[in-house]
Structure 1
Amino acid sequence: MATVTDYETAALRAAARPLTGGASDYDPLLDLVGDARFVLLGEATHGTAEFYDERARITRRLIEEKGFTAVAVEADWPDAWRVNRYVRGEGADPDGNAALSGFERFPAWMWRNTSVLNFVEWLRKRNDAAGASGNAAKAGFYGLDLYSLFTSIQEVLRYLEEVDPVAAEETRRRYACFDHYDQDSQHYGYAASVGLSESCQKGVHAALHDLQQRAFDYMQADGACAEDAFFYAQQNARLVKNAEEYYRTMFRGRISSWNLRDSHMAETLDALARHLSRPGAPAKIVVWEHNSHIGDARATEIGRQGEWNVGELARKAYGQDACLIGFSTYHGRVTAASEWDGPAEHKHVRPGMPGSYEHLLHSVGIERFFLPLRDPGPARDVLMEERLERAIGVLYLPRTERQSHYFMAQLPQQFDAVIHIDRTSAVTPLDATSGWHSDEPPETYPQGL
């Protein structure tokens, strides 16, 4: 319904926990998390500063107070691994800005921004102190996504050249079928999917299989940090296998490629948890991804069309060990592009549409609040009515707002809690262009209508 009633507003206001910036803001959230091992923190856009900053605030508390030892983000595995080495005091990068410089692919601002830089520097200092005291484990930073096909190929080969040059030559031969595409993953996917060229499927499967078969020998011969080095190479090889399939299927339709991507991210999360777990000390991981990935897809119209996502798969795999936290905003500014591979722009976010969750949460009249959704009560009953929900990704197209950015959902089935920040600001890219710094013209420009 488009009209918000006084009863609905009162029910939500009674359940809302205001966020004032104080140290105890997220006490109710940590109580909700309890002993859960996987806390999935969302975002309603890929370019809102408050979403990044509040996720960082929550993550700091999860690391310090609940023993979480990994942050897994919607980023490519090799680029995030470089950051991981920096925050753990390894590698050659002198500072966080340099460690984040691997993020060159569009949209670089998702991870090369001031909010992420601040968190990375905090994590490095925290890990340095933990290593010096010996009283706490260092926390890492990892990527879950699969877009780094060609970078991951090079990383697999680099590893094998160090531990097994003969296997490196064989793997190079298997990966050679990608050489014709000049580092263009989509070109490969199109050519293979329509039969213009042979797929590389057999080669990437064989490369992963052979690497896994020699795991024991490689970890015995590779010296210090052998387990981490092998895990990094193995995940790159798994990424190459899954990315090859992803790019082949992306021209068949959105659902099949989406499901492959989210299955890969869920598999990577599970592999990371197994790698980091120790006897009597199972790994505890914070996930940073878009709401569309970490909210349970079964509670949305997109799920009814056949899509699944990380949130759904996490609930199925981990049950109460997974806690899903969504984020929402009513209006403000966002960093986003107008077309794929386009420059980062500083855009106005339109007010949430009548009939949307954004509009309903705005009516509560509290600028920032945390809203638990698990327990029965009037607020949960109000939110159980299916409504529109907004999702802004790396593109924001306000002229087609309803068609491009809204879908139907049931919020209490999708998330365990939601954080609403009524007015938000754009995340600041580390490499902002003059176009980002200039004010966006009105949407009616130049007609003025």
Structure 2
Amino acid sequence: MTQPDDTITRVLQAAAHPLSGASSDYDGLLERTGDARFVLIGEASHGTHEFYRERARLTRRLIDERGFTAVAVEADWPDAYRVNRYVRGQGEDGGALTALGDFERFPRWMWRNEDVQDFVAWLRDHNRRRPGQMVGFYGLDLYSLHRSLAAVIGYLESVDPEAADRARRRYACFEEFGDNPQAYGYATEYGRWEPCEDQAVAQLLELRRREAELARGGILAEDEHFYAEQNARLAANAETYYRSMFRGRDQSWNIRDSHMAETLAALLRHGEGQGRPQKIVVWAHNSHLGDARASEMGWRRGELSLGQLVRERWPEDTFIVGQTTHAGRVTASDGWDAPARARTVRPGLEGSLEDLLHRVGAGGSQNFWLDLRDQAVAASLGAERLQRFIGVIYAPQTERYSHYVHTCPARMYDALLHFDHTAALVPLDRTPGEQPAREVPDTFPTGE
């Protein structure tokens, strides 16, 4: 029998752990993560300051106190790898701001913001202080098709010019479409161009065959080969992704999240191959990190999620943290490629998860976390309830349709952080407009 909301509110008020900004805020949460090798920390929007700030706070403690070795984020592989080189003391960037310079496509503010800049600077300092406990920074996403093609060729030119020529000939299949992979997807799906799938897969297989030989060049060469191989993997999966966009959102979404899971597994193998046990923090939207089996994404639309795939593969080693807010401000756009601006977030719909947690906070601390593995909390949040998801676009005029999904929160996450009234993320780029993005995701209008 479903509990009435007033009973649920009282149960959750008794179970809520206040978040006051104290250094001890996450003591209990770290204890609950136990020996997890994957801690997935989500966000209810891509433009909320508190989500980024608190995710960074929790991640710093996981690195310092639990020995986590990598941060993997919902970002393109080549863009994030420039940051990885910087935090490891490699490359030519003189600071965190310049290291974030490859995040050029819409939405730039998602990674080029003050909170990420502060975290990247902290991570660089951590690696300087503890060179024996180096922590990497990696991207999991697959939108960077053409940059990844160029990165594969560039790497091979430095180690094997003949192999670079072979890669150039294979990837020439994509040249007709310049930097517009959507046009490629349209042309191939409707029979106007022969798919480049075989060429992309052949290049990936060649890099895999060369891995053992090139790895003998030392740790740096091994890392650079891994970087190139992941770009080749991305190219092969992105080729499939852009063709699938014209078959419907569900299929392309599943290709994207499956690619993220493949990349996470590759990071694990690569680190362990260097003789170091791996523990990885993942940053992405709640829609990717929450278990899709516990939402209508899975049970009605047939969509997978990264969180689901990680749980299925490493069930005893995965801990998922979601984040929510009731109202406040968010950095978002009115439409794809439109300028970012601070928007007012409407209060959570009556009866939604956000509305419930707002009422929980009214009885004490408005910011708190909940342990969803606690039996009483799990029982209170086990039923189906509307939950809000804001991506890079916020459409308050169609908020119920554009941003709310039915979920069972206690099965979707292992813990929830709630910040009742939140502030907008501060972008590093204050200029009007955004860089045009030819490599457009399929997540319009919400843009998760």
Question: TM-score, normalized by length of structure 2?
Answer: 0.93
Q: Residues of 1 paired with 2:316 and 2:83: CA distance?
A: 30
Q: CA deviation at 1:219?
A: 2.5
Q: Which residue of 1 is the match for residue 66 of structure 2?
A: 66
Name the residue aligned to 2:258: 263
- Structure 2: distance between partners of 1:86 and 1:230: 17
1:376, distance to aligned residue in structure 2 (A): 1.1
Contact kept, 8 Å, 1:344 with 1:432, in 2: the verdict is: no
- Matching residue's letter, 2:338: G
Residues 4, 360 of structure 1: 8 Å contact kept: no
Per the alignment, residue 446 of structure 2 pairs with none
Which position in structure 1 is the counterpart of 2:102?
Answer: 102
Contact 1:370 1:419 in 2 (8 A): yes
Cα deviation, 1:246-281, whole Å, max 9, x if unaligned, reads 000011000000000000000000100111125874
Alignment correspondent of 2:369: 370
Which amino acid counterpart does residue 28 of structure 1 have in structure 2? G
Q: Secondary structure at the match of 1:73?
A: strand
Aligned with residue 341 of structure 1, among 331, 337, 342: 337
For the residue of structure 1 that corresponds to 2:91, the secondary structure is coil
Conserved? CA contact 1:42–1:327, under 8 Å = yes
User: What is the number of equivalent residue pairs in this alignment?
Assistant: 428
1:322 matched residue in structure 2: 318
Give the conservation status (yes or no) of the 8 Å contact 2:149–2:232. Answer: yes
1:445 matched residue in structure 2 = none
5+ residue gaps in structure 1?
A: 437-449
What CA deviation, in whole Å up to 9, does each residue of 1:73-127 have, x standing for no partner? 0000010000000011110000000000100011110000000000000111111
Partner of 2:232: 237
Distance 1:434 1:232, change over 3 A: closer
Deviations 1:369-393 (A, max 9, x none): 010001211x322211211000000
Tell me how far apart the structure 1 counterparts of residues 161 and 345 of structure 2 sit (CA, whole Å).
53
Is 2:261–2:306's contact at 8 Å kept on the other side of the alignment?
A: yes
Specify the code of the residue in structure 2 equivalent to 1:372. D
Partner of 1:302: 297
- Specify the alignment match of 2:356 in structure 1: 360
C-alpha separation between the residues in 2 aligned to 1:245 and 1:332?
39
Residue 87 of structure 1 is matched in structure 2 by: 87
Once the two structures are TM-superposed, the CA of residue 226 in structure 1 deviates from its matched residue by 1.5
Query: Are 2:183 and 1:184 aligned?
Result: no
Distance 2:119 2:369 in 1: 21
Identical-pair percentage: 56
Q: Secondary structure at the match of 2:130?
A: helix
Residue number among 381, 398, 412 corresponding to 2:410 in the alignment: 412
Moved more, 331-340 or 279-288: 279-288
| Letter aligned with residue 332 of structure 1 | G
Q: Secondary structure at the match of 1:251?
A: helix
Q: Deviations over 1:141-173 (max 9, x none)?
A: 100000000000010001111111111111101
Q: Say whether the 8 Å CA contact 1:80–1:143 is kept in structure 2.
A: yes
Q: CA deviation at 1:435?
A: 7.9
Residues 435, 351 of structure 1: alpha-carbon distance in 2 compared, 3 angstrom cutoff:
farther
What is residue 156 of structure 1 aligned with on the other side?
Answer: 152
**For the residues of structure 1 that align with 2:76 and 2:125, how far apart are their CA atoms?**
24
Work out which of the residue numbers 365, 377, 391 in structure 2 matches 1:393.
391
Q: Determine the structure 1 residue equivalent to 2:205.
A: 209
Q: For residue 213 of structure 1, report the CA deviation from its aligned partner.
A: 1.2
Aligned to 2:441: none
Alpha-carbon displacement from aligned partner over 1:314-372 (angstroms, at most 9, x marks no partner): 00000120000000000010011111111111111000000200000000123110100
Q: Distance in 2 between matches of 1:181 and 1:362?
A: 49
Residue 434 of structure 1, CA deviation: 5.2
Aligned to 1:37: 37
User: What is the CA distance between 1:216 and its match in structure 2?
Assistant: 2.2
Indicate yes or no: 2:241 matched with 1:246.
yes
Distance (whole Å) between structure 2 residues aligned to residue 290 and residue 40 of structure 1 = 10
Alignment of structure 1 residues 130-141 onto 2, 5 Å = 130-131=130-131, 136-141=132-137
* CA shift digits 1:293-320 (9 cap, x unpaired): 0000000011012101100000000012
Per-residue Cα deviation, 1:151-197 (whole angstroms, up to 9, x for no partner): 00010001111111111111101000111112111111111111111
CA contact (8 A) 2:339 2:432 kept: no
Amino acid in structure 2 at the alignment position of 1:168: A
CA distance 1:99–1:4, change in 2 (3 Å): farther
2:5–2:356 Cα contact (<8 Å) kept: no
SS of 2:199's equivalent in the other structure is: helix
